[in-house]
Structure 1
Amino acid sequence: MIDYSTGQGEWTHWILEETVFDERNLAKFETIFAQGNGYLGVRACTEESYPGQTRNCFVAGTFNRFDDREVTELPNTPDFIALNLVLNGEPFHLERGTILAYSRRFNLKNGEMIRQVVWESAKKEQYELVFRRFVSMQDRHLIGMRLEITPLSGKTDVAMRSGIDGRMTNSGAQHFHEGDKRIADGVHLQMTAATTESKIDFVFNCTHRFWKDGRLVSPINKPSIERRYLGTEMKVSLQESEKLVFEKTCSIHTSRDIDNTCGDLGRLKEASLSELIRYAELGYEALLTESARVWEEKWAAVPIKVTTDRGFDQLAIRFAQYHLTIMTPSHDSRISVGAKGLTGEGYKGHVFWDTEIFIMPYFLFTDPEAASKLLEYRYCTLDGARLNAKRRGFRGAMYPWESAGTGEEETPEWGPVDVVSGTPTRIWTGLIEQHITSDVAYGVWQYYRTTGDRDFMVRCGYEIIMETANFWASRVEWDQPSGRYYIQDVIGPDEYKEHVNNNAYTNYMANWNLRTAIRCHEELLHADKEAWTKLNERMRIQEASEEWAEKAERIYLPQPRSIDDVIPQDDTYLHKERIDLGKYRNQAHVGLILEDYNMDQISQIQVSKQADLLVLFYLLENQFTKKVKRANWSYYEPLTVHDSSLSLSTHCILACDVEEDELAYRMFEQAARIDLGPNMKSSDQGIHSASIGGIWKSVVFGFGGVRSLDGLLRIDPRLPAAWEALEFPLYWQGDKLKVRIDKKRLQITNGTNRNESLSLHVRGRLHTFKQTLDLELVEGGASVEQAN
């Protein structure tokens, strides 16, 4: 069904191929072949329609609320892709007639999808069809389509209906008021619409062109305007073997666009259509070439090379990098990355902790400017986070579990069926999964300590860290008997444990947040008294810092048990019932345990949905000894069923840290196959964005051993047995490094030399260099061969 080895020559490990058409598997390929550029994203639905399709197109940041009883979501925009194609009176459809040849290939290198079909109709007439499509990286508003039709068995009358279909919904919810519609010259189509609640204007344009054997022709056109639809029916006659080429060029603009300089809707309509017509005259190939050039530049900046005979691994890394690129709105800091990117309706386009902990690290070490924009989104939504805290009776800023346009909480109240009661399951994450507040602060601090960007901290970062500390200072509760501050009634990263007290991850990260705010206060006071004064006038940070210190000192932090060094995940986890989890750890599809137990029952079992306490050993690794890390790995990993796509990559990194090399590689393979693998139902609702980021993290943080430890770089490689070498770029403190690791050596080249010298730890030893570092890797350390 999926061929991972189609690419040859320069395309080796760049091509994915769907080799057989199966209507049951449409959603899989709609997701993994999705196209985009960070501004818009289009699922890879076919031009002809099938019952199982989900025809989605999203524009980042254009959130809308269907009604007051629902949360906001990214609206599914009108559809450009659909083509109703009739050949000699027979509708082209792959479930009718006979498929004589089929291939749909997706090129990760240039973002183009090509579908080639030889089809025989019920009349036994044969046709060769080639469908091509791309979303432009050169102009973020642009989509290009091309269709080639060649009759193989005689004269053919071609009828094609194409247009802009505004009847799309989000699972039945219509987010648009209908606007103006017009058709110019029978081929230039324009539709406007406005979101019902957020009042964002959209302008949709498309135009059509035809060639017969290379000659531009004008087909017979029959335009039509209907409710929420406008289109045109075009008719052309072909002789046997005569090739018809059809090109459709499309664009989307909104009143919210950061590059919108038109001022009003009328001027935006005129300017966008004129621009589209100019693009269409350049033609598909020229537009694709420009887009491919931008892709080439992007790939040249982030090359990762694995020397191995397992080509899937190289393909999987590129697949992850491709999707990280198309899901991330690096053009606009008012927008962040949704849990499904721009590839599906899952999670409604909302932003989670996935961004700071799983996605941002890729950009932090490859494109720091894009990373800063992701964090600026959190500053743009800081007032919403403050409002969340106020509504719950707290101070400071409480970041929402699910964030959209304003930073206010957007988590739905009810979810899937409860297998015991038969009613919807109550969703508590939006109320009590609060660790995201410190996760955001952690992302800010990691960015600062990795890049040294003090200007960002003055503009955004210090305020975020201090306001999140204010939240935790108001959130902790004093426990008189213990003389400690507790954090009660929360959900940690393990969402199979609801309403727990003193979740270790939450408590440790809250403590880190408070202590980091103190550092920020002291640093700002001494380095920039003017900026400190402004913040102090607004937030009274001098007074707040005293409270941060008192509460950081006395917050309860669960400690390793004396008998086995295991840290309690929460107050009751270690006392819960243990059951045989083999059925659920070996499951073919995630969530099997939810078919046997409801959430109340699962909360009473020692089972974890995903890494929880273990994440601390990655984020705050210097606070724990290797002995404690291994003890907790040995206890908690067997209790984890990996029902979250975030889990496997985290465990891969930790497996490297505790020297479980074979298991680490196996977990990397499993993580890489969540979306890319042969499971045809794993990605129906869209790509798993955090897991995609986790693939890169597994490679660079796990096998490459890279860490940013509070401003210190560490590289402690552990290559899988199947890999001979690994090469990757790494931005550090303004310099771009090229890292090469093999079984015996670590080589680093500084391509920018902005710093006088760079220092890093390798297997416990500090090394300093300016331009190159060449180390022999030996167990227990590394000997210097060359450093200059």
Structure 2
Amino acid sequence: MLSYNAIQRSELEQWSFTETEFNLLAQGKCESVMSLGNGYMGLRSATEEAYIGATRNLFVNGTFNRFDELEVTELPNAADVTQVELFIDGQRFSLETGKVTDYNRTLNLRDAELTRSFVWRSDEGKRIQFEFRRFVSKHDLHLIGIKLQVTPLDEGITLRLASGINAQMSNSGSQHFHEGEKRIFNKKYLQLVQTTTESKVDFVLSALHQFWIDGCQVDLEPQMEIERRKMEMVYTMELKAGQTLEMHKLVQVHTSRDSDSHASANLESLRSYSLEALKQAEAAGYDRLFEQHQQEWAAIWDRYSFEIDSENRFDLLALRFAIYHLMVMTPVHDHRMGIGAKGLSGEGYKGHSFWDTEIFILPFFIYSEPKIARSLLEYRYLGLEGARRKAKENGFEGAMYPWEVAWPSDGEVTPVWGAVDIVTGKQTKIWSGFIEQHITSDIAYAVWHYYQASGDQSFMDECGYEMIFDTATFWASRLEWNEEASIYEINEVIGPDEYKEHVDNNAFTNYMAHFNMQLALHYYDELKTRNPELLSSLDSILNLAHSSQEWQEKADAIYLPKPDERGIIAQDDNYLLKQLIDLTPYKSQSKVGSLFQDYSLDQVNEMQVSKQADILMLFYLLENRFAPELKRANYDYYEPKTLHDSSLSFSTHSILASDFDDKKLAYELFRRATEIDLGPHEHSSDAGIHSASLGGIWQCVVMGFAGMRMLDGELHLHPRMPESWHRLAFPLYWKGSKLECIITKDQLEIKTDCTDEVHLVIYGKRVSFTGQLQFEMIHI
């Protein structure tokens, strides 16, 4: 059970949450939500002692591998370094035996540290105090630190401790590594060298143990053990009542895919480098290493400094939780890598990147740290190779971005088969990799969004224009001519609502394709006069003179669904003709996907029920193209038919509710978004946290409650804070300037240290200021 107020009136209030009771049948929840990482690697927070049902994951970003030719590439689960096997007086320690009191497992978001403590009474009546600490360094991206303290309270014990490197890991059964080489140096330093089976990425893991008794360092003679895919050190000692044993375990993780200079060297050099790095960490010591890690996180929280004065103190914790995970999952160190749909916290979605990044996560970085946003878009630029290959393989031109992507040049990596069809008993085919094509225009939109907010011309010159032009060329080749209606259509697709497959003219897809082609035309005309040399260079690669004619012709004739007499825009050609059913039981579900306990996907495809925001997402992304009353009519129609079975959905609905000044509904949906991972559902995060939802939480606050939008190249603010919020403060970057926004019930205040005049639109009124601006709140 998780508690969000176990630590009150202390410096960690609203900075931490706690598991107050260990649940053997729901281990995945804390393993995911309390996972650690630094963007380079992610460590799932399984307990040190082993239990059936636990999932031990260590992922290094970008190290994708295919188990065999019949499976898609995925992040391989590297060797485990966290398990510590403990024996008390010859009996294996486990929380399943004896009696536990004062149990506490806490994730400290401020310091990115996992702690666990409790008193355990053995069946023989001996009481022992345990304390565990763990961090994945933000200072040294290759370092993992683990600390263990054991104190017998009443009488002495014989303690046997086994710890090492265990490569007997898999990805749900798929083994991604060759056996590898194991060695122990000087009875102290353990080193494992392994290579992935298909991608041939070398992994080098090095580890050591240090011991103290009552603060005095001791040298314990280990029993060294090496077996298949595993090696460990076993230590045995006698502890008197009141004595405290402290163990420090330091681990260095390196791969041949690292962007560091040593990664390009040969394997022997990488091994030596890893071992030397471990010795340097040893010399610094655990406490100093953790202090350096704390300092890095202090700088992060200083940059992303949010304040929320809410009657519900959980709200600020939830936002900090979202920012924490956005930082531990994002590869800020390497633009060759993206963000997985489960971050680095679990095996869900195999570490692949989706449109989640561009639409739900990227805005956080665009307005918080633009250089990271650029890096994430450079990852997509590197993916043009795979996107062009996918287009060609499907008979199209230009760049057709994969629905799921791993290493940027890999192309499409979506699995073909998924969950069971309850009617046929067969696996359901996953069509997204074949026909969910809106990802291509989503990426073009993200490029435009970043450029409008940052003014980063060098990115556009080096990457952005090429991405927008070639994605527009894809759409021009993808459109199908309807002779009878004299229009271009997009048939046989999946829109954002994945409960509707093989549909024609999904409104979101058509409008976004139209936006993509219009955007390409705009920049083509702009470059003609502003930078003809660059245009000529791109023309030689992309044949823009020909392509631009197609963009113009087809953008003018593409079918864009219009509202009916009720003001409703059809999600696709047949959605409004489908069967209506009572969704009440499913709207109040405790677990997503409960609809499929009663219906197959084919049956759901014939109902007016949506998995997530679809056309409503269109109203959010291209909001100034649609009248407010049109958006409200469609919201009222589609929201009751939306089950929010995707974690992407609540945030979009919350933001739109804010736009409609429905503060109560906006806040309710925000809270439901925060509870996807942090809420009471025991198994919602078993496969990992929900990356896009975490970006959506930030968007609920900044885009929704603060009403911040980029419209036509201008920054708009239209605050509509929840009734229970009294103050909201956050940083914002706009065209290179940092703005500090403070919103109260009565006033909006903006500060900047930029010497140039800042231009904004507040409540629809254009304002300009330098230094500081105060604006009286408008109450509706």
One-letter amino acid matched to 2:153: L
Match of 2:702 in 1: 700
What CA distance in whole angstroms lies between the structure 1 residues aligned with 2:227 and 2:488?
A: 64
| Aligned counterparts, 1:725-764, within 5 A | 725-753=727-755, 756-764=756-764
| Aligned counterparts, 1:70-469, within 5 A | 70-261=71-262, 263-405=265-407, 406-469=409-472
One-letter amino acid matched to 1:430: G
Q: Does structure 2 retain, via aligned residues, the 8 Å contact 1:410–1:430?
A: yes
Q: Which among 567, 570, 592 is matched to residue 568 of structure 1?
A: 570
Q: Does structure 1 retain, via aligned residues, the 8 Å contact 2:262–2:273?
A: no
What CA distance in whole angstroms lies between the structure 2 residues aligned with 1:528 and 1:737?
A: 31
Match of 1:772 in 2: 772
What CA distance in whole angstroms lies between the structure 1 residues aligned with 2:456 and 2:528?
A: 17
What CA distance in whole angstroms lies between the structure 2 residues aligned with 1:320 and 1:260?
A: 32
Q: Does structure 2 retain, via aligned residues, the 8 Å contact 1:382–1:407?
A: no
> What is the CA distance between 1:542 and its match in structure 2?
2.0
> What is the CA distance between 1:192 and its match in structure 2?
0.4
One-letter amino acid matched to 1:100: T
TM-score (norm 2): 0.99
Partner secondary structure for residue 161 of structure 1? strand
> What is the CA distance between 1:524 and its match in structure 2?
2.2
What CA distance in whole angstroms lies between the structure 1 residues aligned with 2:102 and 2:765?
A: 59
> What is the CA distance between 1:752 and its match in structure 2?
3.2
Match of 1:485 in 2: 488
One-letter amino acid matched to 1:81: T
Match of 1:521 in 2: 524
One-letter amino acid matched to 2:268: G
Q: Does structure 2 retain, via aligned residues, the 8 Å contact 1:446–1:710?
A: no
Match of 2:584 in 1: 582
Partner secondary structure for residue 177 of structure 1? coil
Note the alpha carbon deviations across 1:565-591, whole angstroms, 9 max, x for none: 111111010111111111111111110
Q: Does structure 2 retain, via aligned residues, the 8 Å contact 1:399–1:407?
A: no
2:549 paired with 1:546: yes
> What is the CA distance between 1:481 and its match in structure 2?
1.3
> What is the CA distance between 1:231 and its match in structure 2?
1.1
Note the alpha carbon deviations across 1:347-372, whole angstroms, 9 max, x for none: 00000000000011111100100000
Q: Does structure 1 retain, via aligned residues, the 8 Å contact 2:252–2:277?
A: no
Partner secondary structure for residue 272 of structure 2? helix
What CA distance in whole angstroms lies between the structure 1 residues aligned with 2:549 and 2:746?
A: 50
> What is the CA distance between 1:560 and its match in structure 2?
1.1
One-letter amino acid matched to 1:98: K
2:32 paired with 1:34: no
Note the alpha carbon deviations across 1:591-638, whole angstroms, 9 max, x for none: 011111111111110011000001111100010001111111111111
Match of 1:505 in 2: 508
What CA distance in whole angstroms lies between the structure 2 residues aligned with 1:62 and 1:602?
A: 37
Q: Does structure 1 retain, via aligned residues, the 8 Å contact 2:262–2:269?
A: no
What CA distance in whole angstroms lies between the structure 2 residues aligned with 1:752 and 1:259?
A: 35
Identity rate, percent: 49
What CA distance in whole angstroms lies between the structure 2 residues aligned with 1:193 and 1:528?
A: 50
> What is the CA distance between 1:234 and its match in structure 2?
1.0
Deviates more, 1:131-140 or 1:215-224: 215-224
Stretches of structure 1 lacking an aligned partner (at least 5 in a row): 781-788
What CA distance in whole angstroms lies between the structure 2 residues aligned with 1:327 and 1:62?
A: 14
Match of 2:623 in 1: 621
2:478 paired with 1:475: yes
Q: Does structure 2 retain, via aligned residues, the 8 Å contact 1:398–1:468?
A: yes
Match of 1:784 in 2: none
One-letter amino acid matched to 1:454: Q
Note the alpha carbon deviations across 1:280-332, whole angstroms, 9 max, x for none: 23222111110000000000001111111211001000000000000100110
Partner secondary structure for residue 425 of structure 2? coil
Partner secondary structure for residue 444 of structure 1? helix
One-letter amino acid matched to 2:116: R
Deviates more, 1:63-72 or 1:535-544: 535-544
What CA distance in whole angstroms lies between the structure 1 residues aligned with 2:273 and 2:603?
A: 59
Deviates more, 1:230-239 or 1:431-440: 230-239
What CA distance in whole angstroms lies between the structure 1 residues aligned with 2:268 and 2:712?
A: 51
Partner secondary structure for residue 729 of structure 2? strand
**Structure 1 runs (4+) greater than 4 angstroms displaced:** none
> What is the CA distance between 1:233 and its match in structure 2?
0.7
> What is the CA distance between 1:20 and its match in structure 2?
0.7
What CA distance in whole angstroms lies between the structure 2 residues aligned with 1:523 and 1:304?
A: 39
> What is the CA distance between 1:779 and its match in structure 2?
4.3
One-letter amino acid matched to 2:121: E
What CA distance in whole angstroms lies between the structure 2 residues aligned with 1:689 and 1:544?
A: 36
What CA distance in whole angstroms lies between the structure 1 residues aligned with 2:590 and 2:31?
A: 21
| Aligned counterparts, 1:627-776, within 5 A | 627-753=629-755, 756-776=756-776
One-letter amino acid matched to 1:52: G
One-letter amino acid matched to 1:599: L
What CA distance in whole angstroms lies between the structure 2 residues aligned with 1:778 and 1:89?
A: 70
> What is the CA distance between 1:178 and its match in structure 2?
2.0
Partner secondary structure for residue 211 of structure 1? strand
> What is the CA distance between 1:184 and its match in structure 2?
1.1
Note the alpha carbon deviations across 1:438-494, whole angstroms, 9 max, x for none: 001111110001000010011111011111000000000011111110000000000
Q: Does structure 2 retain, via aligned residues, the 8 Å contact 1:402–1:410?
A: yes
Partner secondary structure for residue 537 of structure 2? helix
Note the alpha carbon deviations across 1:123-152, whole angstroms, 9 max, x for none: 211110100000000000000000011111
Q: Does structure 2 retain, via aligned residues, the 8 Å contact 1:26–1:52?
A: yes
Partner secondary structure for residue 716 of structure 2? strand
> What is the CA distance between 1:407 and its match in structure 2?
4.5
> What is the CA distance between 1:44 and its match in structure 2?
0.4
What CA distance in whole angstroms lies between the structure 2 residues aligned with 1:770 and 1:261?
A: 47
2:501 paired with 1:495: no
What CA distance in whole angstroms lies between the structure 2 residues aligned with 1:407 and 1:227?
A: 32
What CA distance in whole angstroms lies between the structure 2 residues aligned with 1:330 and 1:23?
A: 35
Stretches of structure 2 lacking an aligned partner (at least 5 in a row): none
Q: Does structure 2 retain, via aligned residues, the 8 Å contact 1:472–1:510?
A: yes
What CA distance in whole angstroms lies between the structure 2 residues aligned with 1:274 and 1:619?
A: 50
What CA distance in whole angstroms lies between the structure 2 residues aligned with 1:678 and 1:582?
A: 21
Partner secondary structure for residue 11 of structure 1? coil
What CA distance in whole angstroms lies between the structure 1 residues aligned with 2:178 and 2:491?
A: 45
One-letter amino acid matched to 1:632: N
What CA distance in whole angstroms lies between the structure 2 residues aligned with 1:630 and 1:112?
A: 44
> What is the CA distance between 1:543 and its match in structure 2?
1.9
Partner secondary structure for residue 732 of structure 2? strand
Partner secondary structure for residue 21 of structure 2? coil
Match of 2:559 in 1: 556
Aligned length: 777
> What is the CA distance between 1:10 and its match in structure 2?
2.0
Q: Does structure 2 retain, via aligned residues, the 8 Å contact 1:745–1:775?
A: yes
Match of 1:783 in 2: none
Note the alpha carbon deviations across 1:724-762, whole angstroms, 9 max, x for none: 111110000000000011122111111333xx2221111
Partner secondary structure for residue 171 of structure 2? coil
Partner secondary structure for residue 434 of structure 1? coil
Q: Does structure 2 retain, via aligned residues, the 8 Å contact 1:429–1:491?
A: yes
What CA distance in whole angstroms lies between the structure 1 residues aligned with 2:759 and 2:19?
A: 47
TM-score (norm 1): 0.98
Note the alpha carbon deviations across 1:692-733, whole angstroms, 9 max, x for none: 110000000000100111311011111001101111100000
Match of 2:537 in 1: 534
What CA distance in whole angstroms lies between the structure 1 residues aligned with 2:778 and 2:322?
A: 31
One-letter amino acid matched to 2:492: D
CA RMSD of aligned residues (A): 1.0
